[in-house]
Structure 1
Amino acid sequence: MKVSKEELVAVLAQFNPWWRDEAIADLPKWRRAAFRELHTWIIAPPAPRAVLLSGARQIGKTTLMLQAVDVLLRAGIPTANILYATFDHPILKLASIDAVLDAWREREPKVEGVEYLFLDEAQFIRDWGTWVKHQVDFCKERRITFTGSAMPLVEAGQESGVGRWHTIRLTTLTFYEYLQIKNLSLPALPKLRSLKNLFEWPQTDFYRIAEAASTYVGHFHEYLVRGGFPQTAQTDSITQAQRLLREDIIDKVLKRDMTALFGVRRVLDLEHTFLYLCMHDGGLLDMVDLCANLEVKRPTAQSFIELLEATHLIYRLPPFGYGKDVLRARFKIYLADAAIAPAVMLKGKAILEDATALGVATETAVFKHLFARYYAQNVRFSYWREKKDHEVDLVAEVDGEIIPFEVKYRAQHTGVRELKGLIELCESKRISRGYVVTKSLDDFGLMTAPQPARGSGQAPTQIMRIPAPLLCYWMGATELPVGTE
C-alpha cells in the first residue's frame, strides 16, 4: 500500500529522538546478559552477518536494541546513521522497507561511516528474508539488527538466509536477572565459573553458601509465581503481574499473532490446546489423550503444538537417543516460563502450597535456565526413560559429554534410593557425574552412587546436589563465561 513519505517521516521521527539530540526516554541502566553478545556483533562482528534477536513477546528485545543504540551514540556514531523502526506500527507495516529507508534518508542525509539499522518485529516486512540476504551480500556499510517474536522468522527464509544472520535467542528473565532488575539487596554469593567447580569444594563451603542463600528462597518462589517477564517482574502486585501475563499470552499471541502470522482460524481450539499444555507442564505429551479431550484431529493438534513452539510459548524435548525409537516416542513439554501455567489457570500463589505444582514449576524453571545457559553451544536437550519407568528429567549433550539433571524439589532430603534412574543412566553410559536439583538449602553437596558391578572398570558416579535457587542463580549469572558448563 502507498504511504506518503511525510507520514513515514513523522512516524520515524517519533522512534528516533536522537535525530533531535534528545536522549532515549526511560531506558534502564541494567542490561541483560545477552547484551554482551549483541554488543560484540554490532561493534565488531565476527562475521559479515545481520543479527536476529529472537524470543517471545515482552521479554526485552526492544530494550536491548535501544540500549545498543545508546552505546553507539555515546561512542560518537553520527545520529543520522542510526535508524530504529518497529514494523508492528500500522503505518510502517503498510509501507515497504525500501520506502521506510527512503524516508529516513530524506529526514537524515547520510554521514560518512557505517549505518546501523535496528528493525523491530521484522516478520511483518514483506519478503524480509530476501531483503536481509541482499543487504548482507551487497551493502557492506550497513549493520542490521532485527527482532522477531516467531520462529518462522528463522524458518521461512532459512534457505536464502544461511550464513546471513546470527541468531541470539532470548528466554524470559533468569532468576539472576530477575534479582538484578528488582534491584534487591541480598547477601553476596560467590562467582562460579563452572558447575564442575562444586566437586572441588570443601564441605565447609557448602554450609557457608547455604547459610548466605537463605534470603534467596522466598524471592525464588515469588519469581516462580510472578514470572520472568520484565514488566511482570517490576509490577508490585502479583495478581496484576499474572493478569498482564494472561493478556499478553492469550490476547496478543494466541488471538492476534497466530491469526496475523499463521492465518489460524480455529483460535478457540488453539487456546484449548494451550490450556491443556498448561495443565500438563513438564509432562510427556499424550497426543491421543489431548485429541480425545479437545475433540480435535491429530494433524490439527500437531500443527497447534508446532505453532506454540514457533511463538516461543513452549519447548519440546525428545527422549534421549537416536533412530526410529526416538521418532515414535513422546515429547516432553515445558512452558516458556514457570509462571505461565499459574497465571493462565488463575491459580495465583496457590502453587506455593501445592508441593506437586511447586515441583513442576521448579522443573520448568530449571530447564529454562539450562537452555538459556547452553543454547548458544547447539546443545541437544532430552529426557531419559527406561522400560521400568526409571527416568531422568533432563539430559544435556554438550561437546560429546552427557550431563544429566534430576529435579527433586521436595521437603525430604535426597538419597540414593530416590535416584535409581539417574544412577542407571550414568552406569549404562559411563557418565562420571550428575546433578540433582533439590529444595532445602542444606540438601547441598556431594554424594557418591553405589559401586558399579564388579568387573565394569567404572568408578562410582559422583552426584552433586544443588538447591534450585542456587542452580538458577548460577546458571543465569553474568559472570559465567560462554562455553563453560
Structure 2
Amino acid sequence: MIPFADEKLLNLLIQYNPWWKGIPISEKMAPPHHRFAYYEATKLLFHPELRRFVVLSGARRVGKTTIMYQLIQNLLGKGTAARNIVYLSFDNPILKLGGFEGVLRAYENAYPTEGTLYFFFDEVQYAENWETWIKTLYDTRLNVRLVATGSASPALEKGSADSGVGRWSVLKIPTLSFYEYCDLLQIPARPQLESGIRPTQLYRLPQSDLTDLMTRLSSLQQHFYRYLSVGGFPELALSHDDAFSQRMLREDVVDKVIKRDLLTLFNVRNPLQLEKVFLYLCMNSSNIINLSTMSKELDGMNKVTLSNYIRFLKEANLIYISEPISVEGKGILKGRPKIYVADAAIRNAVLMLDDVITNSNEMGVMVESTVYKHIAAFYYTTNAQVGYYRKLKENEKEVDVVVELPASRILCEVKYRENSHIPESDAIIELANDESKKTRGALVITKRAEDYGVTAHHTRVPVIRIPAPAFLYLLGHSEKEGYAAKM
C-alpha cells in the first residue's frame, strides 16, 4: 500500500461522514421509501443473537448505497453516536491505495470510541485483500458491525465462500420488482390487497372474488408498459425524462461495468469482444444459447472465451442464466442455457429500441425476461432451482420457467399475445396432469387484462391464466408479506 498521512485520510473520512459535524443526511441520500432488501439487511445487521456482517451485491444504480444511507439514518435516529458510524467508498483512488489498515488507523487515532462501531464500506471489491480485512475485523473486534456493497459479485461471493462462512451474508439486490416500482412512484391506481393472496392458488377463489381482484389490478396495465421501458432502477424510474434515463443506463450501468469493473476484476484483455458478446446476448435474450452457433456468428470467437465472458456478465449482474431442468431424468437440452438480460430496460437502452410497446415480438421477449427475473429473485434466498424445461422429442415441448422445489415444482408459461390458448398437448398441460411430475402450481402469463381464470383443461393441478402485470404485482405483494417460496 502507498502510505498516506493520517491527516489526509482523516480529511477524507470527514468528507464522507458529514453527520460527525452534525449535518443531517438529506432525503435524497436516504429517501423515506425502503426496498425489500433494506428490511433483510436490517434483520441481519441488528439481529440480537446472530452476529453477521452484511454484503449487498447488485448491478450499478439498483440502490445499494441508498440502503446504506438508510441504515445509517436508522442508527442516528436510534441515538447511536455519530462518530461510531463510518462510511467509506473504496471507489475513491486514495482509499484504494491507502487500504483498510491506513483508514482504520487514522480513524482510531483521531476518535477513540466506546460501544458498538458500525462500518459501511461501499464498492468494497476495489480494496486490496478486502475479504482478509473484513475477516480480521469480524474475528478480532466483537464490537464491530459492518455493511459492504459491490457492483460485481464474483469477488464478493468468492470472498464469502473463502473467508466469510459464518461471518457475513451476501444479499443480492435485483432491479426493482413491478410491485416496488408502483410503490416507489406512489401510483394511485395500485390496489390495496388482502393478505394471503398467492398466484398459484387463485383457482380457490370464488369467481366473483377473482373477477373483483383482476378488475382492481387491471388499472396497473399502463404503468406496466413504462416499467418495461425504463423499469427497475430507482433513480431512473423517478425521472420524468425517459430518453435521458436510457442514456444514463447505457453510460452508468452498462459501459462502466464492461469497460471498467470487469476489466479490473477479470483482467479482460479485449473489452471490444466482451461488448460484442453482451450485444449478442441482448439481441437473443430469452433464447437458448448454443456456443457453437454463437462462435460462428461472432467471427469464430473462441468458445472457451465466450463461456468465460458469459460468466463474467452474469457475475456482474447484467444477465441471468436459466439452466434446463429435467422432470423425467432424461431427454433435456443438457448444457444449453437460456440467457436473460437482467432488466428489460437494460436491453432497451443497449439496443436503442424505439416504440417497443407496439412491437409484439419485443414485448414477448421483455415480458418473459421480466417474469423470469421476478421468479428468480423471489426464490433467491431459498434452495429452489429456477430454470426451464424443454423436451428434445415431440417438437421440443417447452415450459418457460420451472421452479424446482425439494418435493414439488411450479410451472410458468409466458403467452403474452392476443390469443393465449394452449392445446391439450402442450408441455405445461401434460406436466400439470401427471401426478408423477409433482407439479404443485401451473401458471400461464397472459397479455390482456380480461384473460384470466382456470383454463378449460381438466388437469390434476388447475392451470391458471393471469395477466402479466397482475402476476408480477401479486408476486411482489407475496414477497412483502414474507411468503418466500410460497408463490
Tell me whether the two structures share a fold, i.e. TM-score over 0.5: yes
| 3-state secondary structure, aligned to 2:472 | helix
Question: How far apart are residue 432 of structure 1 and its match?
Answer: 4.4
> How far apart, CA to CA, are the structure 2 residues paired with 1:372 and 1:304?
23
| 3-state secondary structure, aligned to 2:25 | coil
Give yes or no for contact 2:455–2:462 (8 Å, CA) kept in 1: yes
The one of 335, 344, 347 equivalent to 2:353 is 347
1:50-101 superposed Cα distances (whole Å, 9 cap, x missing partner): 1111111110000001100100111111111111111011111111101111
> How far apart, CA to CA, are the structure 1 residues paired with 2:18 and 2:368?
43
| 1:455 matched residue in structure 2 | none
Matches within 5 A, 1:104-123: 104-110=107-113, 112-123=114-125
Question: How far apart are residue 41 of structure 1 and its match?
Answer: 1.0
Give yes or no for contact 1:437–1:465 (8 Å, CA) kept in 2: yes
| 1:34 matched residue in structure 2 | 37
> How far apart, CA to CA, are the structure 1 residues paired with 2:334 and 2:402?
19
What runs of 5+ residues in structure 1 fail to find an aligned partner?
A: 452-459
Q: In the alignment, does 2:240 pair up with 1:232?
A: no
The one of 48, 53, 59 equivalent to 1:50 is 53
Matches within 5 A, 1:72-471: 72-110=75-113, 112-157=114-159, 158-193=161-196, 194-295=198-299, 296-321=301-326, 328-348=334-354, 350-386=355-391, 387-388=393-394, 389-412=396-419, 414-417=420-423, 420-426=426-432, 427=434, 429-447=437-455, 449-450=457-458, 460-471=460-471
Give yes or no for contact 1:474–1:480 (8 Å, CA) kept in 2: no
| 3-state secondary structure, aligned to 1:231 | helix
1:221-250 superposed Cα distances (whole Å, 9 cap, x missing partner): 110011201121112122111111111233
1:111-146 superposed Cα distances (whole Å, 9 cap, x missing partner): x21111111111012111222222222221111111
> How far apart, CA to CA, are the structure 1 residues paired with 2:348 and 2:425?
28
> How far apart, CA to CA, are the structure 1 residues paired with 2:444 and 2:61?
32
Query: Compared with structure 1, are the counterparts of its residues 192 and 398 closer, same or farther at alpha carbon in structure 2 (3 Å cutoff)?
Result: farther
| 3-state secondary structure, aligned to 2:79 | coil
- Report the aligned-residue RMSD: 1.9
Query: Compared with structure 1, are the counterparts of its residues 115 and 288 closer, same or farther at alpha carbon in structure 2 (3 Å cutoff)?
Result: same
Give yes or no for contact 1:423–1:461 (8 Å, CA) kept in 2: no
Query: Compared with structure 1, are the counterparts of its residues 178 and 32 closer, same or farther at alpha carbon in structure 2 (3 Å cutoff)?
Result: same
| 3-state secondary structure, aligned to 1:135 | helix
Query: Compared with structure 1, are the counterparts of its residues 145 and 187 closer, same or farther at alpha carbon in structure 2 (3 Å cutoff)?
Result: closer
Amino acid at match of 1:74: G
Question: How far apart are residue 396 of structure 1 and its match?
Answer: 0.7
What runs of 5+ residues in structure 2 fail to find an aligned partner?
A: none
1:295-341 superposed Cα distances (whole Å, 9 cap, x missing partner): 21101111100100110001111101398977843001111101111
Q: In the alignment, does 2:475 pair up with 1:475?
A: yes
Give yes or no for contact 2:447–2:467 (8 Å, CA) kept in 1: yes
Question: How far apart are residue 196 of structure 1 and its match?
Answer: 4.2
> How far apart, CA to CA, are the structure 2 residues paired with 1:294 and 1:174?
33
Query: Compared with structure 1, are the counterparts of its residues 46 and 297 closer, same or farther at alpha carbon in structure 2 (3 Å cutoff)?
Result: farther
| 3-state secondary structure, aligned to 1:209 | helix
| 3-state secondary structure, aligned to 2:480 | coil
Amino acid at match of 1:241: S
Give yes or no for contact 1:119–1:145 (8 Å, CA) kept in 2: yes
Deviates more, 1:180-189 or 1:234-243: 180-189
Give yes or no for contact 2:220–2:469 (8 Å, CA) kept in 1: yes
1:418-463 superposed Cα distances (whole Å, 9 cap, x missing partner): 7701122332514243111111111112235335xxxxxxxx2211
Deviates more, 1:381-390 or 1:158-167: 158-167
Give yes or no for contact 1:318–1:326 (8 Å, CA) kept in 2: no
Question: How far apart are residue 152 of structure 1 and its match?
Answer: 1.6
